Structure 1
């Protein structure tokens, strides 16, 4: 099972030769070549969400905008239709009122932030897997801490209904040694499956890459391989972040029916 986190970069045609219109063919080419099973996208504007749905024909793409009107950026999740059934799907806001569209923490930027959770039944493994895809605030460390605590609580609460392996992925806007990442690292049941990898945010090659994109998994999941999609084509990149892909399998002792 291949899972990818991919900040696709919001498309306002602001990136010159790396604007989305020029990156499109390379994004499709890479996804077709790698054939990941689950892709956790961030910064997906409505027209980009439509493009993904029209072009990733082997996938279902689910998500909604973070604004009050459900417009603006999405933390969309794409999953292969032949590999999974969708058992549940919900977008919640990273705030004290997670069910209120467009809500946010008082100490964060003006941008609302969301987490998209998707519960998938694997036809091959005959197991349920829970995916949580997020994009944390870019300004406030305290907001990022609060958001991670909220996501972890949600994951644990969901386990009461669906006791299944969980993956938490996304753009956390925080380096591994930052105070906010201590929240994740203190969660004993989760491991950074991307640990040891090089940086991810590179601003289209203009800076040394910083690791701010992660895939965490619980102990039921075994990481067999981690790869960073760092290709470029004459200076055109997939995004200003390198997507990160992990290949996972369920631990042998967890293959029984629940």
Structure 2
């Protein structure tokens, strides 16, 4: 066997380069819709009068740029409210999430809504923000059970995204601090990750600082384009406002907007929705 023949036999073809999915831009919509309650605040309307505004805001913003996929993270959602919203949005929508009190239907949800025509659910789980995250529970002087809703969604382009939706405790700063640490523990920095929710903490709070000191970016800070209102938490009576609702990613933002929660017939929540465009 000649040397040239031997070299040809030993030389194996170069493996093809790994398949790369194209970059994906999508919109994430985050909103604390205010639970359905009999204990109404001053100027608060009952849920049956607010629900149309909540659903209309989601639907309208999902239609504004149909070329960009859409994902929704909601907070303070009771089971009946979730079904009202899904009924209004139509059969092309679905959700992942459970009630925080029993892991089924009781208590508030932090549901993640999406269209199966755009996204495939690869994995979904709920973790309780406590020392026993696998079951309904609370810790760290928390007033309520609090949860992380976590999904892995694969876009039809092939891109995989992890979405985390949460609502931190309103009473205990210790609980909020440990909750922020749990969020970071649930994330692999190599993943495409978006975190959204009501932190019950403004930018001066410890829990916010835990997240902002990490690899996560805040849409209200790091987006090149910012529009809309300055604050997210308003109450139902004019007065002092602040921002406690945030969207984070370990990738990049293209756009950030705090939307109106007033449809001319009263506020449909005591929080304004937040919308961001994420690039992964």
TM-score, length basis structure 2:
0.80
Gaps spanning 5+ residues in structure 1: where? 251-258
Shift in Å at residue 185 of structure 1? 1.3
2:102 & 2:96 partners in 1: Cα distance?
18
Matched-pair contact (CA < 8 Å) for 2:51–2:84: no
Matched, 1:98 2:133: yes
Shift in Å at residue 25 of structure 1? 1.7
Q: Deviations over 1:32-81 (max 9, x none)?
A: 21107111000011111222232222321111111136311011110122
Whose radius of gyration is greater, 1 or 2?
2
| Correspondences of 1:148-163 after superposition (within 5 Å) | 148-156=180-188, 163=190
Matched-pair contact (CA < 8 Å) for 1:86–1:119: yes
Match of 1:242 in 2: 272
Q: 1:238 to 1:67 in 2, by over 3 A?
A: same
Match of 1:207 in 2: 239
Match of 2:216 in 1: 190
Match of 1:146 in 2: 178
Matched-pair contact (CA < 8 Å) for 1:8–1:41: yes
Matched-pair contact (CA < 8 Å) for 1:191–1:216: yes
1:10 & 1:236 partners in 2: Cα distance?
16
1:235 & 1:208 partners in 2: Cα distance?
21
Match of 1:169 in 2: 196
Gaps spanning 5+ residues in structure 2: where? 1-25, 63-68
Matched-pair contact (CA < 8 Å) for 1:175–1:181: yes
Match of 1:56 in 2: 89
Matched-pair contact (CA < 8 Å) for 2:261–2:271: no
Q: Secondary structure at the match of 1:26?
A: helix
Q: What is the root-mean-square deviation of aligned Cα atoms in Å?
A: 1.8
Q: Secondary structure at the match of 2:186?
A: helix
Match of 2:205 in 1: 178
Shift in Å at residue 177 of structure 1? 1.4
Match of 1:253 in 2: none
Q: Secondary structure at the match of 2:152?
A: strand
Q: Secondary structure at the match of 1:169?
A: strand
Matched, 1:89 2:124: yes
Q: 1:69 to 1:182 in 2, by over 3 A?
A: closer
TM-score, length basis structure 1:
0.87
After TM superposition, the structure 1 stretch with the greater mean CA deviation from structure 2, 129-138 or 27-36, is 27-36
Matched-pair contact (CA < 8 Å) for 1:198–1:209: no
Q: Deviations over 1:8-30 (max 9, x none)?
A: 10101425652221112222222
Matched-pair contact (CA < 8 Å) for 1:42–1:171: yes
Q: 1:144 to 1:122 in 2, by over 3 A?
A: same
